[in-house]
Amino acid sequence: MKKVIILSILCLTLAAAAMAQSQKEEYKSIVKRVLNAQINCDLNEVAKVVDKNVKGYLFGEPWFDYDGMITMFKEGKGTGEKVDIEDWVVEGNKVVAKWTAHFTTGVFKGLILVVIEDDKVIEWWAYWKKMGEQVDMH
């Protein structure tokens, strides 16, 4: 009987760990989807993964709401080439990503902290610096 109880506890623990890992991967996917939506100006994708009440902050100061995000993506249409994520940390419903973005206006490096609720982004904290001019990648 003890073995059955111990085995049951072990199985539940492993199942919980697998679910937590799956949730972390889902949160990473949501952040990637927003970054790619910015590069591709895919407003339909934004609507799927960004809450209408999102709040964006740049260097800790208010930056955008949902409409402001849409405007920013539209204004940048055609300027983005790619975003590389170099490192991730996911803790609970928060995702931190270290990234490099290539735009026609230059190469940028930064960090984002994204808060997710109900599989939608509700907060977007960005810190970045322009590292140089864009080189032709073709």
pLDDT for position 7: 60
Calculate helix-pair angle for 66-75, 2-40, nearest 10 degrees. Answer: 50
When comparing pLDDT for 115 and 103, which is higher?
Answer: 115
| pLDDT > 80? residue 24 | yes
pLDDT for position 31: 96
pLDDT per residue over 49-96, tens digit each? 999 999 999 999 999 999 999 999 999 888 888 899 999 999 999 999
Percent of the chain with pLDDT over 70: 81
- 42-54 mean pLDDT: 96
Any idea which architecture 2-132 has in CATH? Roll (3.10)
Q: Mean of the per-residue pLDDT values for the chain? A: 87
Domain boundaries of the chain, sorted by first residue: 2-132
pLDDT for position 91: 94
| pLDDT > 90? residue 134 | no
Residues ≥6 apart with Cβ < 8 Å to 90: 24, 27, 28, 96
| pLDDT > 80? residue 104 | yes
Residues ≥6 apart with Cβ < 8 Å to 34: 45, 46, 49, 50, 114, 121, 124
pLDDT for position 23: 86
| pLDDT > 90? residue 17 | no
